[in-house]
Structures are given as C-alpha cells and as structure tokens.
Chain A
Amino acid sequence: MRRYLQLFGLFVRSSLLTRLEYRAEFVIGLFQSLFWSALVIASVLVFFQYAPQIGGWRWEEALLVIGLFRFFQGVIEGALRPNSTRLVEHIGKGTFDFILLKPADSQFSASLRELNIPALLDCPTGLIIVLYGLVRIGRVPSALELLLFGLLLVSGLLIAYAIWMLLVTTAFWLVRIENIAELLSIIYETGRFPVNAFSPPVQALLTFVVPIAFLTTFPAAALTGRLTLGVLLAAPLLAALLLVASRLFWRRALRAYSGAGG
C-alpha cells in the first residue's frame, strides 16, 4: 500500500513535470475552467427563467448539482481520459508490454499513470460552485449531512472510475474506443441537471443503466436534505460492484492479450 502511494506520488510528479514543459497550458486551462463553469451555470439557469423549480429543485439547489457536474468533469478529463488515451496508445504500439512486465499491478499502473493537471482545475472550481450554492440556500449543513455527502462523493468517484475502466478495457479487443468514450461523454452531459428533471424512464436509465445520478444528483441531495435511505445504501454497494466488475474484466482482457484463451 505504501509503495503504491509512493508510486502514485511519482506519477503525479511526472505528470506535473510533463505539463510544466508546456507552461502556457496552465494559464489557458485556468481560463477554460472558469469560462466553461460560467457557461454551464448559464445553460442551466436559463431553464429557471421559466419555472421556479425544476424536478423539485430550486435554482440555488441546482447550483450544487452544477458544481458536482463540474467536479466530475474535472475527474473525467483530468484523471480518467488521459489514462485511457495513453492505454489505447500503449496497446496500439505494443508498449503495454512494458507495463505488463513490471512487478506492480498493471491496472493501477495503466489507469492512474497520468493526470492532466490543468483539466483537474475543474475539481476545485466545481467545489467552489457547490459552496456558493450552499451560501445562496443559506442553510448550514449538519455534520451528518456533510459526512453523507463525503460518502456519496467517494462512491461517485469510484463509480466513475469503474465505469470508465469497463469502457477502456474494451480497447484490448476493439483497439479504437474514441467513439464509445464520446458517447459516454454525451450521456454525462445530462448530469448537469438534477435527475428528477427528466421523465421517469430517463431517470431510471440515468440511475440504473448509466448511473450518472450517483455522481451529481445524489451527493447534492445529501446536502439539501433529499437523500433517501435507498440511495444511501445503493451508492457504496454499486461502487463496490462496479469496481469488482472492472477488475474481473481487466483480468479477462489481460488473458486475451497474452493469448491464454479468450
């Protein structure tokens, strides 16, 4: 465990050093992050021009969902996508062999190797929006609510990672996965609205099939007194389930890669 933490530290370091080679990116990244946040907020608030509530959420409350949407966008673009791009490249060029021959877990080395640090700026920006939303609501969340929020946020992180890994692992067979990744990004765009804003079938889809509600709506629900016991239990369970599935799928892919049947 300590070794993997040290290794992750080195991965972060080398990502940072790589990005620092191109310094202008940082400045541009910061402006991009702020610009997109403003755009997303505007695109949602436009709906509140016509209705005081959407799916039972007031606009101040919707800000929390928007903040989380930006937060997870930072996670996807800053931590998940760079690694999937890298893995696809490794598989194509055959340099994945080097990862496989290292005495360290290959899923760890392949999925947490690279961070796009300018893109990660969306994470703090997102949390600031959440904070601003709370200020606008004017209610201080209780310690328990904060704890539940933390639990749901971590579950959301693990769910996002696992879904992304399930997708990326198909690269061992498909070699090119940009189209599927693009599809997933488009579905993710729905996460900027509280899931209750959609019709029941779409709600079901975003909760059970592509569980984006667990990333943006449910953590926000924890801070606005909307959390149900069902969701609270389902989130960590779903996270664990998807993590195990992604692990099994990864191992299956490695077997196929080394031609051990499959």
Chain B
Amino acid sequence: MYIQTEQLQKYYQVYHKEAGLAGSLRALFKRRYETIRAVDGVSFAIDAGEIVGFLGPNGAGKTTTLKMLSGLLYPSGGHVEVLGYRPFERRPAFLKQITLVMGQKQQLLWDLPAAETLAINRAIYEVPDAVYQQTVAELSELLELGPLLSKQVRKLSLGERMKCELAAALIHRPKVLFLDEPTIGLDVTTQARVREFIADYNRRYGATVLLTSHYMADVTALCKRVLVINHGVLLYDGDLQGLVERVAPHKLIKVQLDSPVSPEALAAYGQVQRHEGLEAKLLVERAETTRIGARLLGELPVRDVTIEEPAIEDIIAEVFAGRNVVSG
C-alpha cells in the first residue's frame, strides 16, 4: 500500500466570534472556543499507480486530509502512512518522493521566469544534472511548455502559469502527487490539457495521484476510483460507475411524441417527471431502460426517444445531501 489512513482525524479549535462591534470587543477579553471536526475518522488505502478522485463540497475535509497526507498537518488522531513514512515527520527522503500542487496557491517567483524556480527546486531536491535536463525536456513536451519557462511569470496567462507550476512541482519526479484543485479557474481547453497531462504522467512514471476537483469532468476523465467525503466522514470509496449505479438507480428517458397521449398511458412505462404537450420525461429503472425504450417506440406514437445518464454533479449532490449515504 502506498497511502494508508486509519481512523484519521483532525480537529481544530476555532474561536467563535460574535457579530458586530460589541461582539468583537467581548471576544477581545473572553473567547469562546469551538471544536471543528474537519476530518473525523477517515480510513482508506491507495495502491501504487492509482489515480483517485477526492470529492466533497467546500469544507468537507478534502484539503485537510491532503495536508495530513503530505505532512503539513499533524493528525489529531488515527494513523497515516505514505510510502512507509509518517508524513508529519517531514523527513527529506519522504519529501523528495511527493509533491503537493494547490490550484489556488503558487510557488513560482512572480517577477522571474519559471526556469529560475525550477533551478532552485532542482538544487533543493538535489536532482543530478543529466536527470534534470531530461525531466525538463519531458515535462516541456508533455505540458507543451515551449518558450514559457523563460518568460516572466507575471506575464503568463493563468493557464500557462498552471502548466509551469506543474513543471516546478514535478521536477524531482515524485512518486506520489497530491493535487488540490489543479484545474481551478482554467478555461475548458487548458483544463482538458492539464487532465491529459496528469494521465500521461501517471502512465509514464507509474505515479500515484490523489486529486480533488470541483470539475466533475476532471474526475470522470481521470479517476476510476473516487472517495466521497462530507463533514469529515468518508461516505463512499469505490469505482465511479458503482457510485452512479448505487446512488442513481434510474435513468431518464426523454420522449418526443407525434400526437398527444394521456398521462395515464405514459405512467404505465415509468415515473413521469414532466409531461407538457408533445414532450415527456420518464424516470425508469436502470436495468429496464432498453426494454422500456423499445416498448415506447412500438406502442405509442413516438417520434424520438433519448436515454440520459443523470449528471454526475447531480449524483454527487444527492450523496452530499445525505439522501443516499452509501459505503463502498
């Protein structure tokens, strides 16, 4: 096992500030503390070479977990092990094998070309000359960096900066990548490019990747396996398809009619979600979808039938709403 946690916990003491000036003044003398259970007993194990998506709404505990895995935060309880190390000891041998990319924060030197940051990281990670040249060449090719590395960072676009940021974070060829919202704020094309790069990097170096993202496309494109977390608790651990089947046992059939049909006639096929004029939407059991689609075409005056998967966003929203808590 590359990454392993058992009953991992992180509690914070935050002080509760009352609104208004009077509240602020009171807080100056007497602070009421509150315990926030950011991560509350999370257990999972990730194998070498896996790409795992970490899903959850803001404040669910994703970033806190990533920070414990990378060694930034000391766990309040439980057990965490990455590559056989206890991350919070931050041993150089451990740090040389991991990386953390935070889409919202950048390590590149603002006024200088990214190449300068790369050179400094190279010295910090003690990358031998030949390996460094090769890595830069490979990353340049995969990320299509071209001349970007020699331009001042402040003159780069957001997408270009992110690509350079990835290069700086990977110059030591880490085995484990923690990516926190790596595509945030990027345009759709660049998002796709970064996604492709992560897949390429994983294939080429057999790296293990744990990533969080708000963009479902990132997760569906990259991750076979997902961890769903909310309120610091793991709600699901398993493959994405399984999550879809469990949480959304239905598919949606859209029917375009030639002539009006009575609501009762439609109700015989499935749960009617909408029926307006010549258009209708039916919720149908996943396994029955094809059969019912065929029956609709044969038995009713139907011009067209389309079958839709519910959007993953909706499924996830469903999980977070707590209506369909599942465990993998």
Interface residues of A (CB under 8 A from B): 3, 6-7, 10-11, 13-14, 17-18, 21, 93-95, 97-98, 100-104, 109, 255, 258-261
Distance, CA A211 to CA B255, complexed state (A) = 85
Closest beta carbon of chain A to B86's beta carbon, Å: 12
Counting CB contacts under 8 A, is B132 at the interface? Answer: no
Closest beta carbon of chain B to A114's beta carbon, Å: 10
Cβ B105 vs Cβ A259 within 8 A: no
Out of A10, A97, A104, which one reaches B119, CB within 8 Å? A10
Cβ A98 vs Cβ B105 within 8 A: yes
Number of residues of chain B lying within 8 A (CB) of chain A: 34
Counting CB contacts under 8 A, is B184 at the interface? Answer: no
Q: A103-B96, A259-B74 are in contact. Are A94 and B105 (CB under 8 A)?
A: yes
In the complex, chain A residues whose CB is within 8 Å of the CB of B150? none
Distance, CA A21 to CA B116, complexed state (A) = 14
Distance, CA A13 to CA B124, complexed state (A) = 15
* 19 A-B pairs (CB sep. < 8 Å): A7-B124, A11-B120, A17-B116, A18-B112, A98-B100, A98-B105, A101-B72, A101-B99, A101-B100, A102-B95, A102-B125, A103-B93, A103-B95, A103-B96, A103-B125, A103-B126, A259-B10, A259-B73, A259-B74
Main secondary structure of the interface of A (DSSP, over half): helix
In the complex, chain B residues whose CB is within 8 Å of the CB of A18? 109, 111-112
Closest beta carbon of chain A to B290's beta carbon, Å: 50
Cβ A14 vs Cβ B105 within 8 A: no
Closest beta carbon of chain B to A151's beta carbon, Å: 31
Cβ A93 vs Cβ B111 within 8 A: no
Q: A258-B88, A259-B76 are in contact. Are A95 and B105 (CB under 8 A)?
A: yes
Out of A10, A17, A93, A103, which one reaches B92, CB within 8 Å? A103
Distance, CA A38 to CA B87, complexed state (A) = 54
Q: Which 5 A-B pairs have the closest CB atoms?
A: A260-B74, A103-B92, A103-B95, A98-B107, A104-B124
Distance, CA A100 to CA B88, complexed state (A) = 10
Main secondary structure of the interface of B (DSSP, over half): mixed
Given contacts A98-B100, A103-B96, A103-B124, 13 further A-B contacts (CB under 8 A): A6-B123, A7-B124, A10-B120, A14-B109, A18-B109, A95-B105, A100-B72, A101-B72, A101-B98, A104-B92, A104-B124, A258-B74, A259-B76
Residues B19-76 near A (CB distance < 8 A) = 67, 70-74, 76
In the complex, chain A residues whose CB is within 8 Å of the CB of B96? 103
> How many residue pairs at the A-B interface have CB separations less than 8 Å?
77
Cβ B112 vs Cβ A14 within 8 A: yes
Mark contacts of B96-122 with chain A using CB atoms, 8 A cut-off: 1 yes-contact digit, 0 otherwise. Answer: 101110100111010110001001110
Closest beta carbon of chain B to A82's beta carbon, Å: 13
In the complex, chain A residues whose CB is within 8 Å of the CB of B70? 101
Counting CB contacts under 8 A, is B90 at the interface? Answer: yes
Distance, CA A100 to CA B90, complexed state (A) = 8
Most-contacted residue by chain B among A11, A13, A94, A98 (CB, 10 A): A98
In the complex, chain A residues whose CB is within 8 Å of the CB of B152? 21
Cβ A101 vs Cβ B112 within 8 A: no
Counting CB contacts under 8 A, is B12 at the interface? Answer: yes
Q: A14-B116, A102-B124, A104-B124 are in contact. Are A260 and B88 (CB under 8 A)?
A: yes
In the complex, chain A residues whose CB is within 8 Å of the CB of B98? 101
Closest beta carbon of chain B to A44's beta carbon, Å: 38
In the complex, chain A residues whose CB is within 8 Å of the CB of B124? 7, 102-104, 109
Residues B182-211 near A (CB distance < 8 A) = none
In the complex, chain B residues whose CB is within 8 Å of the CB of A100? 71-72, 90
Distance, CA A17 to CA B92, complexed state (A) = 29
In the complex, chain B residues whose CB is within 8 Å of the CB of A95? 105-107
